[in-house]
Structure 1
Amino acid sequence: MCDCSKARGHGWRGWMPLPDSQYLQASGPWLDLTYRLGPKVPRATVFPQPSFRRLKSLPEDPLNITEMQMVVHIGTHVDAPRHFYSDGPAFHEISLERLSGPGVVLRVMKKPGELIEPDDLRRCAVQIQPGDIVALNTGWSQYAGTPAYDDHPYLSSEAAQWLLEQKIKLLACDLPTPDMPVGRRPANYNWPAHHILLGNGILVAENITGLDALAGERVEFMFSALNIEDSDGAPARVLARRLARTDATT
């Protein structure tokens, strides 16, 4: 079900419609699901390491000033549809309602390079509602900073399509990518999970951490991403807190 448009980068199908906003009652503190941004932040190996340097330093100078150079798709970040679709919206065109709101954390345990299938998602003991943010907790963040992090589980095309059918608005994962690990990709690989999700207006967030504490819960998310003009992605500070249980969530 991946995008097979004749013109590469075209074929964005529009935003998923969202339900009306709802009142959310929290039952716990905000938790930070973000990797600290620094030279060793988790990233796909195809991207260069970020660099940070002091342009001015106290006490020699009257103030401290740090310069940062990095790809927007490293560390904890959000992909805009523009990442794979030239006719899709860039980051400054994404509304705040698509970067925050209620959702669920699905716990799925897999081995290196194993597919995550629809049945793995169906078996999770928490119900997905239309308009939810879904965070995929595979436990892979324990390998961040090691070679094992790069050989991760990934979504099958069918699993990505199943998430689309649930009408979610954002998929977050504790992986470098929901697609096949870089080292396992055949020639002419086409990133099917990204194409299915982004192509239908479902945002993708990668390199999330700290999801173990929220596994199986309904939560409120905030993806506080930088509003970068014309960008295909943006670094984000991701926060989540548990929601109080109601008859609709038990």
Structure 2
Amino acid sequence: MRARGFTLLELVIVLVLVGISALFGTRFIADMATSYTGAAERAQALAGARFALERIKRELSQAYSPSVYFSDDGRCVSFVPVLASGKYAGDVTDQATFIIPAALDHQQPEPTYMAIRADSGEEHWEDYPATRPAHLFALLDPAAIAGGDRVPMAELIGEGLHFDINSLDSRFTLLAARQTRYCLESGSLWRQQREAGEWSEKILMLTQVTSDSAFMEYDESLQLLKMELSVHSRDGTLVLPGQFMVVYEP
């Protein structure tokens, strides 16, 4: 019996079926690749935003609450880092003895300021440390504060200084001689420090930010800062709200 081959119609049908299968297979692979790329970009954007929020949260937890202020447009938040805090014995207006916290032991001395119920608000802090609010004084000898010693007030900040009122819990705070700020600019979040009257070069913290302003509110009575970051990704805009406590404890 003679073997029978494929007819032209059968070959055409097979080629059409192969083409249809290839078309759907290619589309499936392309959709899978797009989905994977989108998920990877979303995860990357989310990780970057979370890192930035965690960095801000960590630094604000070590900030002096009265020093926190926003820019008028909500694009920047600025604050002064705390080195340590502690309590003093006696009346601060009458040469109190300060019990310096041991947290500063073995640290390299740096320019330091002592605050006791300092004023709050941008007008008092925007030029810090070139100008300072009331009840905030430069330490004469930062090296004297190491080791948890008791140091008379006159040895720390000099004679003839006056405080209007004691701290409610006899607490003082030692501040670094610098400001830190986070700002939104050109779709990115930047970090800077101000020392000796000059802001440092900007450090990039996050890109693809779609927020016009991120820093929404600071309630000083609750020491609670609210912010919201909006970040672009292929799948849409990611919105990450944040609430951070500005409460430093020694």
- The two structures have a TM-score, normalised by structure 2, of 0.22
Determine which structure has the larger helix proportion and give its number: 2
- The two structures have a TM-score, normalised by structure 1, of 0.22
Higher relative contact order (CA 8 A, sep 6+): 1
Determine which structure has the larger strand proportion and give its number: 2
Bigger Cα Rg: 2
